[in-house]
Chain A
Amino acid sequence: MKVGGEPVFVRTLVSWLSLAGALVLCLTAGQSVAEVHADVIVRDAQLYIGDVQPQDKSLYQPIEFTDYWTRLRRQQGINGFYRLIADVPLAGAAEQVPMAVYIANHSGRATVLWDSNVIGRSVPLTGVGTPMVSGPLLLSIPDELLGAGPHELLIEFRGNTTQTNFMRRPQVLPLFDIESRFVTKKLTLVYLPVSLGVLSMMFALVFYAAYYKDAAAGGVGWLVIGLVASAFSVLGLYVSVPDPWAEWLGRVRPIAFQLSFLCFWLALRKMVGATGQWSLRLLLFTYLVFAVLTLTVDAAQVYMVAVLWTPLTYALGLYVLYQAVRLASRPPRRIYALLPLALVPVTIVHDALGIGAGGEFWADQALTIYNPPLFAFALILMLVARTRMQQSDLRILNAQLEQRVQEKHAELEANYEKISAAEQREAVLSERERMVREMHDGLGNQLVSTLAMVESGQFSSAEVEEALRDALDDLRIMVHSLDQQETDLLGLLAIVRERLEPRLARQGLRFNWQVEDLPDIAPLDPEQAGHVLRIVQESLTNIIKHANAKTILIATRIDGDRRCLIIEDDGCGGGDFVATTGGGRGLVHMRERAKQLGGELEVTAGTGGQGTRVTLCLPRVHSAPA
């Protein structure tokens, strides 16, 4: 089953091209920055380590210009003050235009003096608190302070305690020339990261809302936590908090940043379905150790912890990168998901180049801090692709299942039809047999004996008529039994009554009808109905022929567990009945039929010793109460 349609080489080509493109971009950008010329010649760059800025200039120590706020210097004190003295040779032409001092990025606070006149101090960028960001500083030089010849520029930096601060060469250029540069820097240093932070936070929430219930999207929770943590670490840079909290924010921010990588690793683990526990424990343990260290060490040591932590984070990041590439090359192959990750090496190269260039970053700031969102986007792309693939797999599976069910269904139906056709044939056959038997025993016999009556010529036409009516009644009952699928006892008795009552009435007999529903006996199938009919018919015939009765009681009774049908006459008595029929076939046949019905037949004397009572007891159905 092939889900990703495009050939492998196209995907490989695309991924390598994107990587190469990113590298080219990175290098050309570095090239263009290298063209920025420094008009300021730094004459004196000195650093003082201590809490209070000394008035005595001799207390400052000379530093390398490329020096930054290193671990070693931090160990020597809480605050440090840089003192930069630069010569600014201004050409005559420059005197005609407004000039400005531009410091590409600076840290903490800076006070700028022009020929020993204070021309400005750094203030937070408008609208955004930037306590820890190395933002650009732009100060106009008053016209009256400008003149031909060299000028002295003195900048006093006050470094902060938890950030790495890089010194940059200040520039003195025409104001209009550098204003645009200032705006660009502000955008890339402030607005872009803040927007990225906010966007990734929102994206995380939307993504979570869309996928949190999707079982196929394993790891979505970790991805979202990672995104939120990375957004927090970025946004934390731009949040102004009162002093005691500022330091804590400075400590929590790197913890959040590291957390994001850990979360991505966890998300990836879920996505590839890894179960290794030792690596998980080791990573969690390391993370916790560094987090606790970051929170508890002396403020001057925070940076040291971060420095120690960084290689681990890089290693983890590279491992995540490697696993992500492997994951992306598995079905569903989503090489485009690697595009955000292609930028990760670019950021690493960028930062490495910056450090290699002696701390002078050509883009002012480390780009690696934007890596977490890149990871997150790549993983999300893969996750979405995987979820979709699983859904389509599920659809295919469902379709296959459906088809198989239908095939089975058709098969079963065919089988069922075969079987039911066979059953039907058998039912027709047995019903036909029953009819033949009935016609043979009943109607056939009756017609033969009637024919004999007519042939003998000794019987009156009334007698012949009676015999023919008997035959017709028999036929009617047969027609009825063919008409019904199944009958209940009362319906059957009613039929008998309707058919036989006129004849009985002619004989001066009447019914005493006392039937009630017997709800817990089973409905009768045609054969059973035939048995009951014959029993009743035989009983009634016996009464007509032998009993000399006036009334026939037909009643249903519930007698304990037995459900009984009673046919009783008030004629000359049971003894006669048994005497006349006991030896004959009649009673034997009736008993036989009762047995076929699963019941039994009793012949006793009628109520008060008068007449005869035939009791047919039928089995009770237990499964249907009420």
Chain B
Amino acid sequence: MVEMNHKQTCTVAVVEDDPNTRARLTEKVDNLADFSVIVSAGSVAEAKDLLRQSPPDVLLIDLGLPDGSGLDVIRQQSDLHPEMPILVISVFGDEKSVIRAIEAGAQGYLLKSDSSLAIEQCLAQLLAGGAPISAAIARHLIRRLRPEPTQAQREAQSLLSDRELEVLQLAAKGYSYQDIAELLQVKVSTVGSYTRRMYQKLSVHSRSEAVFEATRMGLMDRPHKGE
């Protein structure tokens, strides 16, 4: 559980290699009430080190870092702190990188050009247990988490619940959380938490797939029993 309901200041880590962007983002977040940046890093190594020393409540991270990919940091952090909200900092929020990040354990993305207001809304949604979604991400989730008709007979059941599927299908058509909440007669935050849950499923699903693939390729064919 993330502690978010109290008035305590929420701690944020910013990992971004461009000093200007990092400074701007840090300033924007610090200016928000209830948020303060406690970790600010410009490389994978630095980020891992600092995050281990002082884990924040929220992690904002760029993917293209000089000494590696932000995905490594995301994976590590989501393993260590599964409930920690992680946002990818992106220029365009293009689906390929965002989906890779979600598979690694992130819950959404911030645009570098986003206003303070947008950043605040996004962080609030995350801390409330929700997650943002775009149509393209919804489509991807439908593809990945819902088996094909033929596959459906093999797999006992879809990873998605009926409700989750409804949310995804509407989101894929471009309906906003407000629209979806109205159509399904639920609270907006409920839609967000559905999305958050589905991101977790995708992450787990793609990791287990990766393990399966690795096993299949003989990379992990020596099981160690208890030792």
Could you tell me which A residues sit within 8 Å of B by CB distance?
469, 472, 475-476, 479-480, 483, 490-491, 493-495, 497-498, 501-502, 511, 513, 515-517, 554
Could you tell me which B residues sit within 8 Å of A by CB distance?
92-96, 113, 115, 118, 134-136, 139, 172-176, 179
List 12 other contacts, CB 8 Å, given A490-B135, A494-B174, A497-B174: A475-B92, A476-B92, A479-B94, A480-B92, A483-B96, A491-B135, A491-B136, A491-B172, A495-B136, A498-B93, A513-B173, A513-B174
Known: A479-B92, A498-B135, A513-B179. A493 touches B113 (CB 8 A): no
A480 to B134, CA, bound (A): 13
Contact of A483 among B95, B115, B139 (CB under 8 A): B95
Known: A469-B113, A483-B94, A502-B118. A491 touches B176 (CB 8 A): no
> Which residue on B lies nearest to A554, using beta carbons?
B174
A491 to B139, CA, bound (A): 9
Please give, as numbers and ranges, the residues of chain A lying within 8 Å of B94 by CB-CB distance: 479-480, 483
Chain B nearest Cβ from A52, distance in angstroms = 94
* B135 lies within 8 A of A495 (CB): yes
A66 to B94, CA, bound (A): 118
> Which residue on B lies nearest to A488, using beta carbons?
B139
> Which residue on A lies nearest to B178, using beta carbons?
A510
6 pairs of A and B residues whose beta carbons are closest in the complex: A494-B135, A494-B174, A479-B92, A490-B173, A497-B174, A476-B92
> Which residue on B lies nearest to A491, using beta carbons?
B135
Chain A nearest Cβ from B141, distance in angstroms = 14
Contact of B136 among A494, A515, A516 (CB under 8 A): A494
Please give, as numbers and ranges, the residues of chain A lying within 8 Å of B134 by CB-CB distance: 494, 498
* A515 lies within 8 A of B95 (CB): no
* A513 lies within 8 A of B113 (CB): no
* B173 lies within 8 A of A494 (CB): yes
Pick 14 A–B contacts, CB within 8 A, sort by A. Answer: A476-B93, A479-B94, A483-B96, A491-B172, A494-B135, A494-B136, A494-B172, A494-B174, A497-B174, A498-B93, A498-B134, A513-B173, A513-B176, A515-B173
Candidate in A501, A502, A516 with the most chain B CB atoms within 10 angstroms? A502
Please give, as numbers and ranges, the residues of chain B lying within 8 Å of A554 by CB-CB distance: 174
A546 to B193, CA, bound (A): 39
Chain B nearest Cβ from A500, distance in angstroms = 11
Chain A nearest Cβ from B178, distance in angstroms = 9
Known: A479-B94, A495-B135. A517 touches B173 (CB 8 A): yes
Candidate in B92, B94, B113, B173 with the most chain A CB atoms within 10 angstroms? B173
Please give, as numbers and ranges, the residues of chain B lying within 8 Å of A490 by CB-CB distance: 135, 172-174
Q: Is the interface of B mostly helix, strand, loop or mixed?
A: loop
Contact of A497 among B92, B113, B118, B176 (CB under 8 A): B176
Please give, as numbers and ranges, the residues of chain A lying within 8 Å of B174 by CB-CB distance: 490-491, 493-494, 497-498, 513, 515, 554
A480 to B90, CA, bound (A): 13
* B176 lies within 8 A of A511 (CB): yes
> Which residue on B lies nearest to A502, using beta carbons?
B118
> Which residue on B lies nearest to A511, using beta carbons?
B176
Chain B nearest Cβ from A43, distance in angstroms = 104
Candidate in B92, B135, B172, B174 with the most chain A CB atoms within 10 angstroms? B174
A501 to B179, CA, bound (A): 13
> Which residue on A lies nearest to B136, using beta carbons?
A491
Please give, as numbers and ranges, the residues of chain A lying within 8 Å of B179 by CB-CB distance: 513
A18 to B137, CA, bound (A): 89
Chain A nearest Cβ from B32, distance in angstroms = 17
Please give, as numbers and ranges, the residues of chain B lying within 8 Å of A498 by CB-CB distance: 93, 134-135, 174
A490 to B142, CA, bound (A): 15
Please give, as numbers and ranges, the residues of chain A lying within 8 Å of B139 by CB-CB distance: 491
* A501 lies within 8 A of B172 (CB): no
> Which residue on B lies nearest to A475, using beta carbons?
B92
> Which residue on B lies nearest to A512, using beta carbons?
B179
Chain B nearest Cβ from A540, distance in angstroms = 14
Chain B nearest Cβ from A445, distance in angstroms = 20
> Which residue on B lies nearest to A490, using beta carbons?
B173
A499 to B136, CA, bound (A): 13
Please give, as numbers and ranges, the residues of chain B lying within 8 Å of A515 by CB-CB distance: 173-175
A287 to B174, CA, bound (A): 93
* A472 lies within 8 A of B136 (CB): no
Contact of A501 among B93, B96, B173, B176 (CB under 8 A): B176
Please give, as numbers and ranges, the residues of chain B lying within 8 Å of A469 by CB-CB distance: 113
A490 to B173, CA, bound (A): 5
Chain A nearest Cβ from B94, distance in angstroms = 6
A377 to B69, CA, bound (A): 81
> Which residue on A lies nearest to B118, using beta carbons?
A502
Please give, as numbers and ranges, the residues of chain B lying within 8 Å of A502 by CB-CB distance: 115, 118
Please give, as numbers and ranges, the residues of chain B lying within 8 Å of A497 by CB-CB distance: 135, 174, 176
Please give, as numbers and ranges, the residues of chain B lying within 8 Å of A513 by CB-CB distance: 173-176, 179
Please give, as numbers and ranges, the residues of chain B lying within 8 Å of A493 by CB-CB distance: 173-174
Chain A nearest Cβ from B117, distance in angstroms = 9
Please give, as numbers and ranges, the residues of chain A lying within 8 Å of B135 by CB-CB distance: 490-491, 494-495, 497-498
A554 to B174, CA, bound (A): 10
A483 to B92, CA, bound (A): 11
Candidate in A479, A480, A493, A494 with the most chain B CB atoms within 10 angstroms? A494
A554 to B173, CA, bound (A): 12
Please give, as numbers and ranges, the residues of chain B lying within 8 Å of A495 by CB-CB distance: 135-136
Chain B nearest Cβ from A119, distance in angstroms = 94
A572 to B222, CA, bound (A): 72
Contact of B173 among A479, A480, A516 (CB under 8 A): A516
Please give, as numbers and ranges, the residues of chain A lying within 8 Å of B175 by CB-CB distance: 513, 515
A356 to B136, CA, bound (A): 108
A597 to B95, CA, bound (A): 26
Please give, as numbers and ranges, the residues of chain B lying within 8 Å of A483 by CB-CB distance: 94-96
Please give, as numbers and ranges, the residues of chain B lying within 8 Å of A501 by CB-CB distance: 176
A476 to B175, CA, bound (A): 20
A493 to B139, CA, bound (A): 14
Chain A nearest Cβ from B172, distance in angstroms = 7
> Which residue on A lies nearest to B121, using beta carbons?
A502
Chain A nearest Cβ from B121, distance in angstroms = 10
> Which residue on A lies nearest to B170, using beta carbons?
A513
Chain A nearest Cβ from B146, distance in angstroms = 16
Chain B nearest Cβ from A23, distance in angstroms = 74
